[in-house]
Amino acid sequence: MGWATRASGGFPTGGAGGNSCTATSMAELTSCISTASSGANKAIPWIVYVKGFINGATNADGTGYTQQRISRPNTSLIGIVENGVVPTLNAVWINISSQDNIIVRNVRFVAGTDPAWAYESLGSCTYVDKDYCASNAEPDSLTLQGVTRAWIDHNEFTDGANFNGVNPNKAWYKMYDGLLDIKKGSDYITVSYNKFSNHDKTMLIGSSDVADGEYRLTFYRNWFQYTGQRTPRVRNANAHILNNLYEGVKRTTEDRPYHMTYAIGLGFNGKAYSERNAFDISGAVATDILSANFDAWSQYFTDVSSWLNGTAVDFNAAAATVVNAKNAVKNSGKPFLGPVSWSPSANYSYTPLTSADAVRSAVKAGAGVGKITP
Q: Is 39 helix (H, G, I), strand (E, B) or coil?
A: helix
Residues in the chain where the model's pLDDT stays below 50: none
Q: Which residues contact 185 (CB under 8 A, 6 or more apart)?
A: 146, 212, 213, 214, 215
With contact defined as beta carbons under 8 Å apart, do 254 and 129 qualify?
yes
Q: What is the largest CA-CA distance in the chain?
A: 61
Task: Return d(Cα 331, Cα 369) in angstroms, integer.
Answer: 44
Amino acid at 371: K
Domain 2-13+50-65+113-366 is in which class? mainly beta
Tens digits of per-residue pLDDT, 315-326? 999 999 988 888
Q: Residue 121's pLDDT is what?
A: 58
With contact defined as beta carbons under 8 Å apart, do 63 and 57 qualify?
yes
Q: What are phi and psi of 286, to 5 degrees?
A: -60, -40
Tens digits of per-residue pLDDT, 260-316? 999 999 988 899 999 999 999 999 999 999 998 776 666 789 999 999 999 999 999
With contact defined as beta carbons under 8 Å apart, do 144 and 150 qualify?
yes
Q: Residue 49's pLDDT is what?
A: 98
Residues 278, 280, 281, 284: is their CA dihedral positive or negative? positive
Q: Residue 109's pLDDT is what?
A: 98
Q: Residue 331's pLDDT is what?
A: 62
Alpha-carbon radius of gyration of the chain: 20
Closest-CA residue to 12 (of 106, 86, 75, 71) = 75
Task: Return d(Cα 263, Cα 253) in angstroms, integer.
Answer: 17
Global pTM? Answer: 0.96
